[in-house]
Amino acid sequence: MDEWPELGTSVRLFVKTWAGEGIHEGILLHPSAVDLVTIKLNNGYNISFPENYISTFEIISNPSVVQSNPKSNPKQESSLPLVYLIHTGGTIASKVDYKTGAVSASFEPSELLNAMPELENIARIKVLKIGNMWSDDMRPRHWNMMLQATEKAFSEGASGVVITHGTDTLHYSAAAMAYGWAGEGTRPPGRIVLTGSQRSPDRGSSDAPENIIASVMWAANGPNPSGYRDSSVIILHANSSDGNCAVLPGCSSRKYHSSRRDSFKPINQNPLANILIDKKEISIVMRDKEPLEARIEVTKPQLFDSNIRIAEFIAGPHIQPDLVESAINLKFDALLFHGTGLGHLPISNPEDDSIENTRLKAIISDFCADDGIVVIVAQTIHGPINMNVYSKGREQQDIGIIGHGSLCPPGSGLVKLHYLLSISNTRADIAKRWTLDLVGENPEFTLN
């Protein structure tokens, strides 16, 4: 085989495999493994072949010059609302350099407006980049960076902000924005949206453009936040098709699917609205937003204490008392258990053959007796924690485990606990506040 052309070259491959001969056209990428040839097909997907399967190739065109700003800066209408786009990372605001195979941020206003001309009629766009992180690498200190970025945007007159974020932990950051701005019965000065994408922008099936368009639409023209359920929202595709994005409460949603475009759902409540996108019109259709009286507006959010450490455990056959005891000895600030069913832990030993259950109960009992903070959330995601149904649940309450009567989903529960630890360090106060519905995470319900 002749020497391969420069990466980024558009090529036509003549391939012979066990299934027969075929012709494939695409852009030459870095090989996905040794002795493979990888191209990006016209539909956006990558395909690789062993080099010895390729009988010959033709060059269709040479690599195009990658420009950071291929067009002049579009004029932004001064009368439109100002929306800040705050970039943290993820695939939603990125582009592929086919010469290197690398994904880089494509986040200048001119690039976004050139790629999505619909934005020109919705808002004036300003951009603030605070990082380019995988969302699973984020820590509470990054929640504070987002809170401070939103504060800056609102201080400069923004009607709303859109935080672009990797989807894997987007629901944690959305909850952090909600508690940080509204946890004390307040509300932010404007609308806060978090969005991401499941498919990278270089793929024909990408959900990124519509997610950004819908998010900017809400940030610019959505209802003013009351501070309850809507102090932050998540906006992503409502189903697998284009044209419909869901507006979900940031305090009570989570990612439920690893790859679908409609990967997020609200927990124990309904979406707030839908944003419909067609070629001629973008519209907001309200659904289940309570007509509540707005809370007091604040100009500064409550930041999280980044020194707080919470130890998380999953209740099940392999939860070990030694690990729980280690967390206590290492002076973690609180223990958070993802309980089974209605919120249970393996602390009973009815057959007298599981001494680890007895030890776990003793360790938790002693920790609570020493004013240690232990909170339980549901593994089941939907439904309440109800420790009144079974004797074990009542025993857990007697021990001092917090959580009974809560509808707060597990991800939001972790953020809520961190928030409460940031503003209070007494067990009694945290136990009292846990039962409250601070930002819409714990709506009223009837325990059956």
What is the domain-level CATH number for residue 165? Answer: 3.40.50.1170
Catalytic residue among 38, 88, 150, 167: 167
Q: Are residues 260 and 177 in the same domain?
A: yes
237 touches 220 (CB < 8 A): no
Catalytic residue among 9, 38, 91, 186: 91
Provide the pLDDT for residue 254. Answer: 92
In a domain, 173, yes or no: yes
Q: What is the pLDDT of residues 104-128, one digit of tens each?
A: 555 555 566 666 778 888 999 998 8
Domain with 378 in it: what CATH number?
A: 3.40.50.40
As a whole number, mean pLDDT of residues 246-255 equals 95
Alpha carbon separation from 274 to 98, 214, 282 (Å, rounded)? 36, 9, 11
Q: Are residues 276 and 331 in the same domain?
A: no
341 pLDDT exceeds 90? Answer: yes
Q: What is the pTM of this model?
A: 0.83
In a domain, 16, yes or no: yes
CB neighbour list of residue 432: distance below 8 Å, 6 or more residues apart: none
As a whole number, mean pLDDT of residues 245-250 equals 96
Q: Are residues 189 and 269 in the same domain?
A: yes
In a domain, 4, yes or no: no
Residue 277, φ and ψ in degrees, nearest 5: -125, 120
Domain with 52 in it: what CATH number?
A: 2.30.30.520
Q: Are residues 397 and 428 in the same domain?
A: yes
Domain of 372 in residue numbering reads as 310-434
Q: Are residues 240 and 371 in the same domain?
A: no
Q: Are residues 43 and 164 in the same domain?
A: no
168 is catalytic: yes
Q: Which amino acid is at 417?
A: L
CA 56 to CA 266: how far, in whole Å? 52
The domain total for the chain is: 3
Provide the pLDDT for residue 296. Answer: 94
In a domain, 240, yes or no: yes
Four-CA torsion 227, 229, 233, 236, nearest 10 degrees: -160
47 touches 117 (CB < 8 A): no
Q: Are residues 234 and 369 in the same domain?
A: no
Confidence bin at 204 (pLDDT 50/70/90): low
Provide the pLDDT for residue 103. Answer: 55
Provide the pLDDT for residue 154. Answer: 98
Q: Are residues 287 and 348 in the same domain?
A: no
In a domain, 228, yes or no: yes
167 is catalytic: yes
Which residue is listed with tokens 């990658």?
A: 66
With b for 16 or more beta-carbon neighbours within 10 A and e for fewer, the 114-149 pattern comes to: bbbebbbebbbbbbbbbeebebeebebebbbbbbeb
100 pLDDT exceeds 80? Answer: no
- Among the candidates 270, 297, 324, a domain finishes at 297
CA 366 to CA 242: how far, in whole Å? 54
Q: Are residues 191 and 92 in the same domain?
A: yes
Mean pLDDT of the chain: 88
As a whole number, mean pLDDT of residues 192-205 equals 73
Q: Are residues 281 and 409 in the same domain?
A: no
Residue of 348 and 43 predicted with greater confidence: 348
Q: What is the pLDDT of residues 354-401, one digit of tens each?
A: 999 999 999 999 999 999 999 999 999 899 999 999 999 999 999 999
CA 443 to CA 441: how far, in whole Å? 6
Structure tokens that stand for 414 in this block: 């972790």
Q: Are residues 278 and 153 in the same domain?
A: yes
In a domain, 66, yes or no: no
As a whole number, mean pLDDT of residues 420-446 equals 89
Q: Are residues 321 and 293 in the same domain?
A: no
CA 359 to CA 301: how far, in whole Å? 42
CA 332 to CA 328: how far, in whole Å? 6
- Among the candidates 297, 319, 347, a domain finishes at 297
Catalytic residue among 126, 152, 168, 392: 168
Confidence bin at 447 (pLDDT 50/70/90): very low
Catalytic residue among 40, 95, 99, 255: 255
7 touches 99 (CB < 8 A): yes
- Among the candidates 297, 331, 350, a domain finishes at 297
Structure tokens that stand for 272 in this block: 């707030």
68 pLDDT exceeds 50? Answer: no
CA 326 to CA 367: how far, in whole Å? 12
